[in-house]
Amino acid sequence: MRMIKTFILSGAALAMISGAIVPHAQAKTVKVHMKAVETDVVIDNKGTKYPAWTYDGGIPGQVVRVKQGDTVDFTLDNPASNKNSHSIDFHAAEVDVLNEFAAVRPGHSKHFVFTAKRAGVYMYHCGANPMVQHIARGMYGVIIVDPKTYSKAYPKPDREYVLIQSQYFPDADNYSAMLENKGWTNSLINGKIFNYDPVHDPNATKVLMAKPGERVRIFFVNANVNMPVAFHPIAGIWDRVYVNGNPKNVLYDVQTYGVPVAAASTFDIVSPSDHATNNAIVDHTMSAALRGAITVLMNRPDADPKLGKGDNILLR
Which lies closer to Cu ion via its Cβ, residue 243 or residue 262? 262
**x/- string (CB under 5 A) for Cu ion, residues 10-49?**
----------------------------------------
* One residue of 76, 119, 139, 315 binding Cu ion per CB under 5 A: 139
- Tell me the residue nearest to Cu ion as measured from the CB: 126
Q: Of 74, 69, 73, which Cα lies nearest the Cα of 117?
A: 69
- 159 sits near Cu ion (criterion: CB under 5 A): no
Which lies closer to Cu ion via its Cβ, residue 126 or residue 216? 126
Return the amino acid letter for 187: S
**Cα–Cα distance, 267 to 288 (Å, whole number):** 19
Which lies closer to Cu ion via its Cβ, residue 43 or residue 294? 43
- 134 sits near Cu ion (criterion: CB under 5 A): yes
- Applying CB under 5 A, the span of 75-83, 201-209, 256-264, 267-275 interacting with Cu ion comes to 256-264
* One residue of 92, 126, 207, 294 binding Cu ion per CB under 5 A: 126
- 128 sits near Cu ion (criterion: CB under 5 A): yes
Which lies closer to Cu ion via its Cβ, residue 40 or residue 311? 40
Those residues whose C-beta lies under 8 Å from the C-beta of residue 196, and which sit 6 or more positions away, are 189, 190, 204, 206, 207, 208, 295, 296, 315
Which lies closer to Cu ion via its Cβ, residue 6 or residue 133? 133
Backbone CA torsion sign across 105, 109, 112, 116: positive
**Cα–Cα distance, 198 to 205 (Å, whole number):** 7
Site for Cu ion in 175-214 (CB under 5 A): none
**Cα–Cα distance, 28 to 40 (Å, whole number):** 36
Do 65 and 6 form a contact (C-beta atoms < 8 A)? yes
* One residue of 65, 86, 110, 192 binding Cu ion per CB under 5 A: 86
**Cα–Cα distance, 75 to 31 (Å, whole number):** 8
- 104 sits near Cu ion (criterion: CB under 5 A): no
Size of the site for Cu ion (CB under 5 A): 7
CA atoms within 13 Å, Cβ hemisphere of 39: 13
Return the amino acid letter for 56: D
Where on the chain is the footprint of Cu ion (CB under 5 A)? 86, 89, 126, 128, 134, 139, 262
